[in-house]
Structure formats: C-alpha cells, structure tokens
Amino acid sequence: MARLVLKFGGTSVANIDRIRNAARHVKRELEAGHQVAVVVSAMSGVTNQLVDYCKQASSLYDQKEYDAVVASGEQVTSGLMAIVLQEMGFDARSWQGWQIPLRTNDAHGSARIQEIDGSRLIEAISGGQVAVIAGFQGIAPGDRIATLGRGGSDTSAVAIAAAIKADRCDIYTDVDGVYTTDPRIVPKARRLDRVAFEEMLEMASLGAKVLQVRSVELAMQYKVRTFVRSSFDDPDSVGVDSHGNPPGTLICDEDEIVEAEVVTGIAASKDEAQISLRRVADRPGVAASVFGPLAAESINVDMIIQITSPDGATTDITFTVPAIDHERAIKVLEATREKIGHFGIESSTDVVKVSVIGLGMRSHAGVAAEAFRALASKSINIRAITTSEIKISVLIDAPYTELAVRTLHSAYGLDKQ
Amino acid sequence: MARLVLKFGGTSVANIDRIRNAARHVKRELEAGHQVAVVVSAMSGVTNQLVDYCKQASSLYDQKEYDAVVASGEQVTSGLMAIVLQEMGFDARSWQGWQIPLRTNDAHGSARIQEIDGSRLIEAISGGQVAVIAGFQGIAPGDRIATLGRGGSDTSAVAIAAAIKADRCDIYTDVDGVYTTDPRIVPKARRLDRVAFEEMLEMASLGAKVLQVRSVELAMQYKVRTFVRSSFDDPDSVGVDSHGNPPGTLICDEDEIVEAEVVTGIAASKDEAQISLRRVADRPGVAASVFGPLAAESINVDMIIQITSPDGATTDITFTVPAIDHERAIKVLEATREKIGHFGIESSTDVVKVSVIGLGMRSHAGVAAEAFRALASKSINIRAITTSEIKISVLIDAPYTELAVRTLHSAYGLDKQ
C-alpha cells in the first residue's frame, strides 16, 4: 500500500470524457490498494477565458479579484472529477484551497504556499475516500482566495504530496516524460527514465516546459519523488519498460540514480534579452552602479561579461535579463547615466540561451570544451557563457537555436540509437 | 443616506458590457451617498453549462459536488463586478458565501439559509466599500459549498438585505416591474406601483415569474422593502413616475399601501395536474387513506373536491398536484388500492389554475361571484375552486387560459386606460 498524489493538467481534463479517462488511472491505483489524492487543473481553455474576462473588465484589474474569478476553473473540475469517481463506485469528495486549508502569502496572482494542513486530507484518504483537490489555489491572509500563478497546479500537487507524506506524486500530462531535449527540435531525443532533482531544476528553469520550476524546487526541498507520465496512456493496459515501470520519467534524489550521466539533457530558453553597455567610464564601483539599480527593481541579471576597451579608459559590459524585463531594464539603465556618465546601450531579444545539463559534470573534466568545439565546428558564435556545477550555458543568436541543440545533443552521445 | 442591496440577475450580467451597465446603477446610488451591497447571479448561460457538465459526469450526481461546480458561476461574476467597480474608481470587493459567512442547512442543491453574519459586510459598506456578493450560494455544515436552488440569487439578496438591515432591496431584472398580469397575454396589463408582500407571495406562487417564491416569503418575514426594476434602464437618466420614483414596483408592507385595490392582479399557473378518483368506497377515513400516503411522499395536494355518487355507496374525489409530481402521485395512489379497495384513476395535465389576487378582497364581498359570472359569460368551464382570504383560484382547461385571464383582467377593471 502506498500513498499517491495524481495530478491531471488542463488537456487531461478538457471535457467529461477526458475526466473519465483520467479517473480510470485513479481507479487502477485504488484497485491496487493505494491511498489516492487527486489534484486537478481547470479544463483547458477555461483559465484563458476567465483571464480574458478580467482584462475586459479592466486593464489594471485587482489581483485579489482576478484570483476569485480564475480559481473557479479548478473548482469546477474538482467537483466534476469527484462526481465521475463516485459514478465509478468510489468514495470521493472535492476540496477547495480554503477547505484544506492550503495557506498562501498575500502575493495575489502568483502567491506562494506558506502552510498546508494535511490532517483533514490524510484523515479522508486513510478512510478510503479519494480527495479531489482543486489545484492552483489557496487561501491568503484575510480569508481571500489566492492563486499560485500559471502552471501552479504542479506546485499544488507537489506541495500536497509533501503535506500528506505521499510516497510519490504522479504528474499526468500531455507528454510521456522528460526527454534529453525537446523532441520537436531533435527527433532523436530520448526519454529519460530518471532525472535528479537538481538536473530537473536546471532543465525546468532553462525552458523544458514539462514541469513548473517552483514545483521542482518544492519536490527537491521535500524530496517528493515525482513521476511524469502521459494521461493519454490506456489506463488499463499500460506498456511497461524493462524495469517494470510504466513509460515516464521519475524525478528523484540523486541517490536513486545508480550511475549519473555526464550530460543528461540539452535545454534552450528563448526568454532572454542581451544588453550591452558601451564605453562605460572604467572606475572602481562602476559595476555596482550599473547592477545595483537593476537589483533594486528585482530584475534578475545573468551572464555578465566585462571587457576593458583598448584605450583602458572605458569598459564594455554585456549581460542578459529575462526578456519580460527587457524594457524595464533599459529604463533603469538610462536613469543611471546621470550618476555614472554617458554610455551607449545596445540590446537584443533575438538571442537564445542553450544549456548542457548533467550531474556527472561535477566529476568529469572537459565537458565545456566539448561544447565550444562542437558549436565552433558549425560556425555558431558564442556571445556569452555561464557555468554552474552541473550546467554550461551559452548565449547564441536565435536563428541558430535548433542547429546548436542538435549539434550538442549528438556531441554528448544523447541521440537515440 | 440609505443602505441598499442591488441585485442583478443573469441577463443583467451576461457579459462585461452588461456588467459595466449594471455597475453604473451602483455608481448612481453611491454618488447619491448611499451604502451599497451588490448581489450577482452567474452570467446567463453559465449555470446551464455547469449543470450540463454534472449531468454528463453522472446522471445521479452528488448534490454536494454539484454545488461546488455550479456555485463557481456566481463566484466569477462577483469578482468581475468588483473589478469593474474598481475601474470606475470605487472601493469594492467580492464576497463568497463562505467568506461572509452565509450559513445554510445541508439540503445541498436547494439549501435553505439558516444564518447570515452581517457584521463583516456592515463593516465593509460602512467604510465606503461596495460589497459584491456571489448570490445563490452559502456554506453548509462541514464547510461544504451549498447552493440555494435555481433562482436562489433573489433569495440571497433579500436575506442579505435583512442581515445588514438594508433600507431597500432593489431587484434589477429583465422586466420593469410587477404587472397586473402577464403583459404577453394581456397587452393592457398595467405595471403596479406597489404590491403588498402577501399579494406578491400569491402571485409568485401562482406563476408570476418576476421573483422567486422563497425570496418573497423572506421579504415578508423580515419586512424587506423590495423594489423590482429593469436593469436595462439608462442608469444615468431614469424616467420617474408621478411620485418621483423610477419605473418599477415596490413590494412592501400593506401599511405602505394607502388604499388597497380589491383586485391587484391575475395569475395563471400551468404547473398543475388534475387527478380524479372514481367510485371510491365511501366510508369514514377514506380521505385520510388517499391523502395520507401522498403527504408522506411530500406531494402537495390542492383544490380538493369530493362528490358523493348518486348511489351513496361510492364517492368521486378530484384534486390537483404540482405537474412535476403527477406520475409519482399516480404510483402512490395505485399502491393504496390494496388498502381501500379498487377505484378508477383519471388524470390530466392539460389544466391551468387561474387566480384573482387582492388584499382588498378581505373587506369586499362578491369578488368570487364576479369571477364565476365573467367566466360563465365566455362559456369557460370551472373544474375546481379554492379560495383564501386574498385569493380566488379556479381550475380550467388549458386552451382557455388566455381568454380567462383577459376576461378576468377586464372584469375587475385592471385594463390600462
């Protein structure tokens, strides 16, 4: 007997037939003797419709009211899933965030979970009832409805799994696992059986859309074994791999990964903007004068390169910011000119950050050199580089994205045989 | 300064433009210095869609889950109305049933209000904030979401008005008041300026669709002055009648009605079925044997007529039941044959109950005689009669409905000049 959380995303509950199909996965686990909590998203399309209503109502809508409007989508699915499970003969009930309660901070629109009281849920599922939980939502201070931001249902699922001490959190989605890279770009991409939390975190942060970054952070923090699989598998006869597992990817502690690959995957992120400051007066503290104001505006700076100009009096500073903060960053920088003297600002959003990720990198030399060699062989120009213990990222021109990803995928031996 | 509840039904909040128009009515009252609570229904069509989902999920859906699903419709409108009011520059916030809290019993699907704590709402509106309340919903024992049954938003509005001690409850709907009879049947029908609670209760019970019966009962019980008006009036320039009031009907205590009309209105109800039991053995206690089992099944019997047959040994019993209970009633009656001996059962749903309603009837003789005379003059056959202090009802064949209503409307001098 295990305790499981099963999470179904919007396309997996898009209509009653899909909900019924999802419920058959729940049935299989119940009949295997497991205790089950289910976390559901809104039916696909519903959230967009509700967001659109809010925008029509006011371009500057109140986030608290937005939350009340948008959280209704998950409320509907939770009730319908409970009805479908009851129709199949199981005891089930829906749970809204405020009923659990799942407490968040007051950052309405993208609230963070602060505390989940798992006791009522544990009591329910221990008694054989399926707890069907509306994902994406919680209750903020002042008893207002809060939502966790887009994709927040994954975060709900992992957090609930931690709160009820589940043995595993199964994320049913429209893909059948985590791949070495995006299979739409590289048809030879392979599905990974297991990925370590740290690797998944880098992949999720860098553009792999399978799981929300925050859900992976939570999974890592609370060591929630998270299994990504397709909701479109036949629930009654799922093909199994050589380990006896259904097709999918287990995200787990690295202890569970017997031999870590040097490189696990290649990710590409388009959400970057490059900013170059030209001929900045080169004196002590100039970097702080540039980056301090950006930090004060919560703009995240990455990939910093500073090159002193040949004359020695000025310096060029290049860095990246999230594309969404691009215009705001330019304004902040223009304002700093008063303080540190005139400099030129150039920027581009037509850049992509391509990353090579792997736990084994920690104990293996020459991984970065291999990336530079492979990209050079295709004449792909590297505009900036950052590295961490388990990741090498390069900034390149956007038109070379697919070529770079395919080249690196082959170079590290990730192609399917 | 007055304290007002403004209630907007589904067609009045059918889309963002309609919500914006409704909000302009709120604006007018705020700018007049009033404290305002708003009660909203789901956007028209939404509730039907949600009910349909539940039916697709299971023909025997759980009422608790149905409530969680369906209550979401009002939740959405309450948030959107709050956003629209904020956009207009007013302080506003949405309130769900559980946030108020509006407590109901556990009759999910058609729960009854048990207690409303008005203190938080009063605090909010006294501080100048508009309280936008999701109608139709409350919180049942066990902290589950409950709904009040179809049309329950009227009931919410009146109950909220009572709880916050409002001076008036304005029901904005798609008609501009209460008429002497259905204007679609009788073009000469007049809008009434004032109607007493008791009269409105009879009219609502008997087929006038303007207000839900339960909301009128509540209004009468708590003496909530309720004003029915059109949400499609121009909110900024509402034409006023000779009393300085906007067009509409005030439902109020009879003390506020200076001179009660003998007859206020004519109502017709199609939701009746006539059942006739033929040649029932005429012995003491036979009526109890017939009506006891119907009462035990909560089938409401009305308009009973008993005629002993010429031979004196048997009796014919005719009565009406709500059309919705027709088939169930027949089954119950067939089962009683074992106990009281064989009798024939005839029934018809092709009947209509036409009623003449008026407070002044209490102090005025000959009102019933006038009805019988008028109907006889058109050769309309009366199948059964019931009367109360302020009402005379006759059961007639359905094809004569319009003729009967028009005839009575003229006979009592209700036609527009």
Tokens in use for B358?
């008026």
Contacts of residue A207, Cβ cutoff 8 Å, sequence gap at least 6:
A267, A268, A269, A270, A271, A353
Residue B144 pLDDT: 98
Q: Is B60 on the interface with A (CB under 8 A)?
A: yes
Tokens in use for B208?
């006038």
Nearest one of B131, B407, B144 to B268, comparing CA atoms: B407
> B72 contacts in A (CB within 8 Å)?
72-73, 75-76
Q: Determine phi and psi for B408, rounding to 5 degrees.
A: -70, -40
What is the gyration radius of the CA atoms in chain B, in angstroms?
24
Interface test with A, best of B67, B76, B117 (most A CBs within 10 A): B76
Interface contact B84-A53, CB threshold 8 A: no
> B60 contacts in A (CB within 8 Å)?
87
A130 & A246 share domain:
yes
C-alpha distances (whole Å) from B238 to each of A159, B39, B172 are: 54, 21, 13
B242 & B282 share domain:
no
C-alpha distances (whole Å) from B324 to each of B67, B121, B272, B334 are: 22, 39, 8, 18
CA–CA dist B152, B64 (Å, integer):
16
**What is the model's pTM?**
0.85
- The residues with which B384 forms a beta bridge, in sequence order, are B395
Contacts of residue A328, Cβ cutoff 8 Å, sequence gap at least 6:
A297, A299
pLDDT tops 60 at residue B97: yes
> How many Cβ pairs closer than 8 A exist between chain A and B?
114
Q: Is B75 on the interface with A (CB under 8 A)?
A: yes
C-alpha distances (whole Å) from A168 to each of A120, A175, A210, A274 are: 19, 19, 17, 40
As a whole number, the mean pLDDT across chain B is 92
Task: Give the domain range for residue A267.
Answer: 259-417
B239 & B291 share domain:
no
Residue B244 pLDDT: 58
Q: How far is A308 from chain B (nearest CA, A)?
A: 51
> B130 contacts in A (CB within 8 Å)?
none
Residue A286 pLDDT: 84
Q: Is the omega angle on the peptide bond into residue B101 within 30 degrees of 0, that is, cis?
A: yes
- The residues with which A4 forms a beta bridge, in sequence order, are A36, A168
Q: What strand order describes the sheet that includes A391-397? A: A265-269, A351-357, A391-397, A384-388
A218 & A348 share domain:
no
Q: Is B197 on the interface with A (CB under 8 A)?
A: no
The CATH number of the domain holding residue B288 is: 3.30.2130.10
Tokens in use for B113?
């209000």
B122 & B135 share domain:
yes
Domains: count for chain A: 2
Q: Do B302 and B271 touch, CB atoms closer than 8 A?
A: no
Q: Do A348 and A274 touch, CB atoms closer than 8 A?
A: yes
- The residues with which A33 forms a beta bridge, in sequence order, are none
Q: What strand order describes the sheet that includes B35-40? A: B92-95, B130-134, B35-40, B3-8, B168-173, B226-230, B249-252, B194-196
Interface contact B82-A75, CB threshold 8 A: no
Is B405 exposed, middle or buried (CB count within 10 Å of its CB: 0-12, 13-18, 19+)?
A: buried
With both helix axes pointing from N to C terminus, report the angle between B72-87 and B16-31 in degrees, rounded to the nearest 10: 60
pLDDT tops 60 at residue B242: no
Q: How far is A30 from chain B (nearest CA, A)?
A: 20
Residue A258 pLDDT: 81
Residue B341 pLDDT: 80
pLDDT tens across B180-224, in order? 999 988 999 999 999 999 999 988 877 667 888 899 999 999 999
Q: Do B148 and B74 touch, CB atoms closer than 8 A?
A: no
A41 & A85 share domain:
yes
Interface contact A58-B93, CB threshold 8 A: no
pLDDT tens across B132-150, in order? 999 999 999 999 999 998 7
Is B262 exposed, middle or buried (CB count within 10 Å of its CB: 0-12, 13-18, 19+)?
A: middle
A16 & A150 share domain:
yes
Interface contact A68-B94, CB threshold 8 A: yes
> A62 contacts in B (CB within 8 Å)?
82-83, 86
Residue B306 pLDDT: 84
Contacts of residue A63, Cβ cutoff 8 Å, sequence gap at least 6:
A108, A109
Q: Considering B256, B275, B301, which residue would you say is the last residue of a domain?
A: B256
- The residues with which B134 forms a beta bridge, in sequence order, are B40
C-alpha distances (whole Å) from A305 to each of A276, A277, A367 are: 9, 10, 21
Interface contact B53-A64, CB threshold 8 A: no
Q: How far is A82 from chain B (nearest CA, A)?
A: 7
Q: Determine phi and psi for A42, rounding to 5 degrees.
A: -70, 155
Tokens in use for A118?
């798992």
Q: Is B53 on the interface with A (CB under 8 A)?
A: yes
Chain centre distance of CA A303: 21
Q: What strand order describes the sheet that includes A344-348? A: A302-308, A314-322, A272-281, A344-348
Nearest one of A111, A207, A219 to A162, comparing CA atoms: A219
Contacts of residue B251, Cβ cutoff 8 Å, sequence gap at least 6:
B178, B194, B195, B196, B197, B200, B211, B216, B219, B225, B226, B227, B228
B250 & B207 share domain:
yes
Q: What is the ipTM of this complex?
A: 0.83
Q: Considering A233, A255, A277, which residue would you say is the last residue of a domain?
A: A255
SS3 A378: coil
Along the 417 residues of chain A, how does pLDDT read in single tens digits? 899 999 999 999 999 999 999 999 999 999 999 999 999 999 999 999 999 999 999 999 999 999 999 999 999 999 999 999 999 999 999 999 999 999 999 999 999 999 999 999 999 999 999 999 999 999 999 999 999 987 799 999 999 999 999 999 999 998 889 999 998 889 999 999 999 999 999 888 776 678 888 999 999 999 999 999 998 888 876 556 555 568 899 999 999 998 778 999 999 999 899 999 998 988 888 888 899 999 998 899 988 888 887 777 888 999 999 999 999 999 999 988 888 888 899 999 999 999 999 998 888 888 999 999 999 999 999 998 988 889 999 999 999 999 999 999 999 999 987
B292 & B415 share domain:
yes
> B98 contacts in A (CB within 8 Å)?
98
> B139 contacts in A (CB within 8 Å)?
none
Residue B47 pLDDT: 95
pLDDT tens across B68-92, in order? 999 999 999 999 999 999 999 999 9
The residue behind tokens 């043995």 is: A167
Report the C-alpha dihedral over residues A33, A39, A45, A46, rounded to 10 degrees: 120
With both helix axes pointing from N to C terminus, report the angle between A63-70 and B72-87 in degrees, rounded to the nearest 10: 160
B311 & B222 share domain:
no
Residue A307 pLDDT: 84
Interface contact A76-B60, CB threshold 8 A: no
B319 & B415 share domain:
yes
The CATH number of the domain holding residue B246 is: 3.40.1160.10
CA–CA dist A209, A94 (Å, integer):
28
As a whole number, the mean pLDDT across chain A is 92
pLDDT tens across B400-414, in order? 999 999 999 999 999
Q: What is the DSSP letter of A245?
A: P
Contacts of residue B11, Cβ cutoff 8 Å, sequence gap at least 6:
B18, B44, B173, B174, B231
| DSSP-derived pairing of the beta strands B249-252 and B194-196 | parallel
Q: How far is A93 from chain B (nearest CA, A)?
A: 7
CA–CA dist A103, A160 (Å, integer):
12
Q: Considering A255, A271, A297, which residue would you say is the last residue of a domain?
A: A255
The residue behind tokens 């697919």 is: A402
Q: How far is B284 from chain A (nearest CA, A)?
A: 48
A10 & A157 share domain:
yes
Query: What is the average per-residue pLDDT within B252-261?
Result: 88
